[in-house]
């Protein structure tokens, strides 16, 4: 199935009108992805059957996202899945993305600009360096990551930049993508959901331990 036909089917299955502004932004994002994919391999494969699960996951998780203005940090953003899709469907989001690979960071900056997301910020550096230079009173409402495993030190540094209201969105496979001891001691699992249509894929949402006390 072609990307165009596949996307229209996904939109229909998700209950998103074909003429909606979010649908247009999603089309534009995927066109940019295909344009850049041939040059810098943003995704391992560019065919629709490989990209479709990533798009579906983003659209599905966007429907779970809390409404209203929220400051969101996404770590290891890569090609923008799911962070840019979350932003497409949640215009109140103030999104920051940390991506240490320069070419992928350049794509994210271009995509944000082309989609008209002037408030989105891309940080082309490692998470540790980014957090080290972030203000000590900086707090995010939501923090997400996908397909990377955060160390105990990284999780603790993120927890120091969270409040009782902060929620950590972890997209992962069979095992949670974070140091088990740090997760047990510093966080509490609020919910875990299977990602529809993708075997073995999960979204786990954690709260800092102090919010669970």
pLDDT tens per residue across span 88-118: 999 999 999 999 999 999 999 999 999 999 9
Sign of the dihedral defined by the CA atoms of residues 177, 180, 184, 187, in that order: negative
pLDDT, residue 46, reads: 81
In terms of C-beta distances under 8 Å and separation of at least 24 residues, what long-range contacts does 46-49 make, across chains too? Answer: 48/1, 48/2, 48/3, 48/6, 48/7, 49/1, 49/6
Q: Are 129 and 157 in contact (CB under 8 A)?
A: no
pLDDT tens per residue across span 139-170: 999 999 998 999 999 999 999 999 999 999 99
Q: Are 170 and 180 in contact (CB under 8 A)?
A: no
Q: Could you tell me the domains of the chain?
A: 53-212 (3.40.50.150)
pLDDT tens per residue across span 20-29: 999 999 999 9
Bridge partners of residue 193, in order along the sequence: 203
């Amino acid at each position: 199935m072609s990307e165009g036909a596949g996307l229209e089917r996904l939109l229909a299955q998700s209950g998103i009108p074909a003429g909606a502004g979010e649908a247009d932004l999603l089309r534009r994002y995927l066109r940019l992805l295909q344009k850049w994919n041939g040059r810098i391999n943003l995704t391992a494969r560019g065919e629709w059957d490989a990209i479709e699960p990533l798009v579906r996951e983003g659209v599905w998780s966007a429907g779970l996202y809390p409404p209203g203005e929220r400051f969101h940090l996404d770590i290891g953003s890569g090609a923008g899945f799911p962070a840019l899709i979350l932003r497409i469907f949640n215009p109140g989001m103030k999104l920051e993305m940390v991506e240490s690979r320069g070419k992928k960071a350049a794509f994210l900056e271009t995509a944000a600009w082309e989609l008209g997301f002037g408030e989105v910020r891309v940080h082309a550096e490692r998470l540790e360096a980014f957090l080290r230079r972030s203000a000590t009173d900086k707090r995010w409402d939501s923090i997400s990551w996908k397909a990377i495993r955060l160390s105990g030190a990284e999780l603790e540094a993120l927890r120091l930049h969270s409040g009782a209201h902060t929620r950590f969105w972890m997209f992962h496979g069979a095992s949670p993508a974070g140091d088990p001891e740090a997760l047990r001691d510093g966080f509490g699992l609020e919910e875990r959901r299977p990602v529809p249509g993708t075997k073995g894929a999960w979204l786990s949402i954690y709260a800092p331990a102090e919010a669970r006390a």
